[in-house]
Amino acid sequence: MIADCILIVDDHPVYRDALTEKLSVDFAALDVQVMGVGCSQAALDALATSDRRWLIVLDIQMPGLSGLTGIKAFKMVPNVAAVVSISGLDEKLWEPKTVQAGASIFLSKNNTSQFIFKKLHHLMQGGDAPLETPQPAEVVEDHRLLRLTGRQREVLKLIAQGHPNKIIAHMLEISEQTVKIHINQIFKELRVFNRTQAALMAQKSNLM
């Protein structure tokens, strides 16, 4: 496991306590400790006095240190193995922003606690791509990939490896705007709605 403790940082006490309690039960068999605190400063204080490896589940909309700056701040803490962003904000809008800022995955508060457990467990085990609930878009149809141009397949491969648009643009020596155009066309041809679904299709089709 990449970490042996999970720290939920959320200023909403009802949601924080309920999720902490549920995940504590779910992770008990794996000997993973789950704690919850109400602000980033309390989290940083707890990390400073611990020699264990932590996975941070960070609410991105809190007073004080939070959001994209909060993700970057926690990523700099030596005993933080990974940061997971969690929010009730628009997932399609915020997932790419938080991942680009350094979060391993984005979790919507609209998900069930069991879904969140599965995603965190996968990440704790060192999974290189987040789990998704089964969706029709995940059913692999090879002819969809055949519609892509060679450059689009290169972009898709880099998406599946977890690279943000800026890095893809640098690696392929093209502009970020061109990368966005390729990604929009990839989504259209594969009939998917986000980078995660596209990456999963690439992996299942052995494009990797």
Same domain membership, residue 155 and residue 193: yes
Which residues, including other chains, have CB under 8 Å from residue 127's CB and lie 6 or more apart?
A: none
Same domain membership, residue 103 and residue 146: no
Distance, CA of 196 to CA of 186 (rounded, Å): 12
Give the closest residue to 73 by CA, choosing from 48, 50, 106.
48
Distance, CA of 107 to CA of 35 (rounded, Å): 18
Residue 31 lies in a domain: yes
What mean pLDDT do residues 129-139 have? 40
Identify the domain boundary among 124, 147, 164. 124
Same domain membership, residue 145 and residue 50: no
Residue 168 belongs to domain with CATH number: 1.10.10.10
Same domain membership, residue 99 and residue 14: yes
Instruction: Give the percent of the chain with pLDDT over 70.
Output: 89
Which residues, including other chains, have CB under 8 Å from residue 28's CB and lie 6 or more apart?
A: none
Same domain membership, residue 116 and residue 158: no
Residue 130 lies in a domain: no
Say whether pLDDT at 41 is over 50.
Answer: yes
Dump pLDDT digits (tens) for 182-201. 999 888 888 888 888 888 87
Domain span at residue 120? 5-124
Dump pLDDT digits (tens) for 163-176. 899 999 998 889 99
Residue 49 lies in a domain: yes
pLDDT band at 127 (very low <50, low <70, confident <90, very high): low
Tell me the pTM.
0.62
pLDDT of residue 137: 39
Say whether pLDDT at 138 is over 80.
Answer: no
Using the 8-state DSSP alphabet, how is residue 126 labeled? Answer: T
Give the closest residue to 7 by CA, choosing from 66, 67, 53, 71.
53
Q: How many domains does the chain have?
A: 2
pLDDT of residue 143: 61
Give the H/E segment covering residue 155: helix 150-160
Backbone angles phi, psi at 8, to 5 degrees: -90, 120
Residue 131 lies in a domain: no
What mean pLDDT do residues 67-95 have? 90
Same domain membership, residue 151 and residue 80: no
Same domain membership, residue 152 and residue 102: no
